[in-house]
Structure 1
């Protein structure tokens, strides 16, 4: 009879357990600022590159234009992002953070830093650096480029 591996025998099991806990707690934290993790990721991607056409943002985040449009709509409705028409092409537009959206970035980044410290602060500096290095290698070799938003 063949032996069947246990769930806990798999690295992916442990990665998912930690990832779920980190992600769920971060989602809880940012919800206090009335944004989702996906909205935070969108806003942060926009922060250093304003104004940005939606197609460029989609490429940068590894998302579809449709997903970017949905996020943009939600953030425009919340008053955190604004849309500006191109003076050359009325069909084209770019996205920028509003003053309120720009002011939220340091607050949300602080929550991300706090969340990381809470979960990964139990590691030594060397362990944390090794974990980051290994995860980056896995992402690079797996050609994983899409911004994780869920």
Structure 2
């Protein structure tokens, strides 16, 4: 699973109503790039896409039962990866790093990349 797939699945799994275009905006990706990510998640049967009842031109994304089953395990893996990588930093160092990265993101107007 790629980082982009993980972030997309996690964003969709938050329960907010998202279209592919909305997800692309949230993730700071092009619509073409997000389409490839969504195709991979659909081929794994972790997400589904349904037509909006309000506007039949809009497709809405949802996590499937299979996706809901794997999401906690994938979250544990992601949290473990974060701890493995950042675990060498104490709380003060982590806070400093986060502050510096936020400063760089602000300076380069990188506001649409989900980091949670």
Q: Report the TM-score, using the length of structure 2 for normalisation.
A: 0.85
Largest Rg, 1 or 2: 1
- Distance in 2 separating the partners of 1:125 and 1:88: 47
Are 1:41 and 1:147, in contact at CA under 8 Å, matched by a contact in 2? no
Unmatched runs of 5 consecutive residues or more in structure 1 = 1-34
- Distance in 2 separating the partners of 1:52 and 1:72: 12
| Structure 1 vs Structure 2 CA RMSD | 1.8
For this pair of structures, how many residues does the alignment match?
114
| Bigger mean CA deviation after superposition, 73-82 or 42-51 | 42-51
Deviations for 1:18-71, whole angstroms, at most 9, x for unmatched residues? xxxxxxxxxxxxxxxxx2221111111212144311111111111111111121
Which of 62, 67, 74 lines up with 2:33 in the alignment?
67
| Bigger mean CA deviation after superposition, 95-104 or 137-146 | 137-146
The answer to whether structure 1 residue 145 and structure 2 residue 105 are counterparts is no
Are 1:54 and 1:94, in contact at CA under 8 Å, matched by a contact in 2? yes
Q: Report the TM-score, using the length of structure 1 for normalisation.
A: 0.68
Unmatched runs of 5 consecutive residues or more in structure 2 = none
The answer to whether structure 1 residue 55 and structure 2 residue 6 are counterparts is no
Q: Show the counterpart of 1:19.
A: none
Deviations for 1:93-129, whole angstroms, at most 9, x for unmatched residues? 1111101112222222211211121122112211111
